[in-house]
Amino acid sequence: MVFSSITFLFYFLPITIAVYYIVPNKFKNLVLLVASFIFYYFGEPTYVLLMAFSILSTYIFGRLIDKYKETKYAKIWLILALIVSIGLLVYFKYTNFIIKNINLLLKHKIDFINVALPIGISFYTFQMISYLVDVYRGEAKVQKNILKLAMYVSLFPQLIAGPIVRYTTIENEIENRTHTMQKFALGVRRFIIGLSKKVLIANVLGELCTTYLATQETSVLYAWLYGISAMLQIYFDFSGYSDMAIGLGKMFGFEFLENFNYPYIAKSITDFWRRWHISLSSWFRDYVYIPLGGNRTSKIKWLRNIMIVWLLTGLWHGAAWNFIIWGLYFGILLIIEKLFLGKYLEKIPKIFSHAYTLIIVMISFIIFNGENVNQILTNITSLIGIGNVSLISPESLYYFKSYFIIIVIGIIGATPLIKSISNTKKYNKIINILEPITLVILFIICTGYIVDGSFNPFLYFRF
């Protein structure tokens, strides 16, 4: 079940909201827990027990870490907990990738294991790890009620595609959160905005990307259309999901942290990663980079720490070489910026630093979407016409005319322009009148697209 589906929008969500607000406060967490397991069962009936086992082991290890805090045994229990959590993630997500590469390297014929990737395992595993580490550090109180811990881990708004909600962020809200009509209305508003980003922009541009990758002919114009569309698709797909998750959180009284902050207005790659998938980059900073020593160590170790983080970031996104290359690509660029390029980017006109960032990011998503190295190189070199690639083709002109308007809308929507206008006092009265009407119209249009369309994937479900 995905948020942009008729089943979720018109059956699951209304019923869950109705039951949630009917029951007394002491049963609200239980309603969310049951609803979350039903939600996950629709997408992964086979792996509900896996998630339940992960929750149970996290609960037990958390209690043991707390029981033996300030002793050497606390660290032992934490290490065992990490082995279990990371071990499950590695087994289900990376085993076949490891086998494939062993076979290629040593020319063996080890059989692949017959296992599918559980949806959302990367997200809920990281949430459980952050909980256990925070309990060990004394930054979070151990949760003694297993049902409340289970509700935190399985909470359906952020269960299968994030953002990565840390236990410390909603620790107090698990026990005591407020419900107001204003918060609920803001949640509905945010959800519809996210749904519109996903259905009306990401899905439409995704069709162009799929067509490009399937075609045998290309041109410089077509390659640029693909590169720009891929950038916009993944941004509106994932930020749209994050918006919907944050909106749903508000409907149920939770305040999730922002996951995106207009990354395409960044003036450097360093700035880009302060704005893109904030919950993931901050997670790696706090639970990997800083424990390794961060930048408070020798230069060699500091550079090593950066590359470890970005190797893991690439691997986190998927068990394939394009993701590893993608992560290392960003790691190398960030090192270059930190060593010398960053200070020059601050001095040159912003238009040039902005163009540099966008081109680097566009190439990164071409790598991200590539199925193999040859395809990646072809798509990148086509941008500058290498390899007998024509400048313009009839096919590229057709797609340019067909998708020009949606690309322009996507570019504008990826900037804070609309937000700046809406915050202007001059237009407040007009916006207050038009916004509810616009949201209803957008929801109706989205529903029409969902009913008629078949292209409705969430890119981050595979992570």
pTM for the model: 0.92
Residues 22 and 100 in one domain: yes
Q: With a cut of 90, say whether residue 388 has pLDDT above it.
A: no
- Return d(Cα 325, Cα 98) in angstroms, integer: 16
- Return d(Cα 245, Cα 194) in angstroms, integer: 9
Residues 148 and 185 in one domain: no
- Would 192 be classed as within a structural domain? yes
Task: Work out the number of other CB atoms within 10 angstroms of the CB of residue 309.
Answer: 21
Say what the pLDDT of residue 461 is. Answer: 53
Task: Work out the number of other CB atoms within 10 angstroms of the CB of residue 146.
Answer: 15
- Would 267 be classed as within a structural domain? no
Say what the pLDDT of residue 459 is. Answer: 60
Residues 56 and 156 in one domain: yes
- Are 264 and 358 in contact by the 8 Å Cβ rule? The answer is yes
CA atoms within 13 A on the CB side of 280: 25
Residues 201 and 246 in one domain: yes
Q: With a cut of 70, say whether residue 59 has pLDDT above it.
A: yes
Task: Single out the residue in 151, 176, 201 at which a domain terminates.
Answer: 176
Q: How far is CA 295 from CA 4, 187, 269, 305, in A?
A: 42, 39, 18, 8
Which residue out of 108, 179, 277, 317 is catalytically annotated? 317
Say what the pLDDT of residue 457 is. Answer: 59
Q: 418 pLDDT band (50/70/90 cuts)?
A: confident
Q: 433 pLDDT band (50/70/90 cuts)?
A: confident
Say what the pLDDT of residue 429 is. Answer: 74
Residues 66 and 213 in one domain: no
Task: Single out the residue in 176, 205, 220 at which a domain terminates.
Answer: 176
Q: What is the mean pLDDT of residues 48-55?
A: 95
Residues 284 and 318 in one domain: yes
293 phi-psi bin (left φ>0, alpha ψ -120 to 50, beta other)? left
Residues 20 and 149 in one domain: yes
Residues 389 and 378 in one domain: no
Say what the pLDDT of residue 106 is. Answer: 85
Task: Single out the residue in 382, 410, 432 at which a domain terminates.
Answer: 382
- Would 266 be classed as within a structural domain? no
Say what the pLDDT of residue 45 is. Answer: 86
Say what the pLDDT of residue 422 is. Answer: 73
pLDDT (tens digit per residue) in 126-171: 999 999 999 999 999 999 999 999 999 999 999 888 799 999 999 9
Residues 140 and 161 in one domain: yes
CA neighbor of 463 nearest in space, from 27, 126, 101 = 126
Query: What residue numbers bound the domain in which 394 lies?
Result: 180-260+385-463
Q: With a cut of 80, say whether residue 460 has pLDDT above it.
A: no
202 phi-psi bin (left φ>0, alpha ψ -120 to 50, beta other)? alpha
- Return d(Cα 374, Cα 29) in angstroms, integer: 50
- Are 291 and 278 in contact by the 8 Å Cβ rule? The answer is no
Residues 106 and 73 in one domain: yes
Q: With a cut of 80, say whether residue 193 has pLDDT above it.
A: yes
Q: What is the mean pLDDT of residues 261-272?
A: 96
Q: 276 pLDDT band (50/70/90 cuts)?
A: very high
- Would 439 be classed as within a structural domain? yes
Q: What is the mean pLDDT of residues 427-433?
A: 75
317 labelled catalytic: yes
Q: With a cut of 90, say whether residue 357 has pLDDT above it.
A: yes
- Would 268 be classed as within a structural domain? no
Residues 44 and 111 in one domain: yes
CA neighbor of 195 nearest in space, from 22, 2, 360, 23 = 2
Residue 15 corresponds to which amino acid?
Answer: I
Q: 122 pLDDT band (50/70/90 cuts)?
A: very high
- Domains of the chain: total: 3
- Would 419 be classed as within a structural domain? yes
Mean pLDDT of the chain: 92
- Percent of all residues in the chain with a pLDDT value above 70, rounded to a whole number: 97
pLDDT (tens digit per residue) in 205-238: 999 999 999 887 789 999 999 999 999 999 999 9
- Would 42 be classed as within a structural domain? yes
- Would 265 be classed as within a structural domain? no
pLDDT (tens digit per residue) in 62-75: 999 999 998 999 99
Tokens representing residue 120 in the block: 């959302």
Contacts of 237 (CB under 8 A, 6+ apart): 197, 198, 202, 206, 458, 459, 460
Say what the pLDDT of residue 107 is. Answer: 80
Contacts of 105 (CB under 8 A, 6+ apart): none
Residues 27 and 172 in one domain: yes
Q: What is the mean pLDDT of residues 277-289?
A: 96
Q: 463 pLDDT band (50/70/90 cuts)?
A: low
Task: Work out the number of other CB atoms within 10 angstroms of the CB of residue 314.
Answer: 23
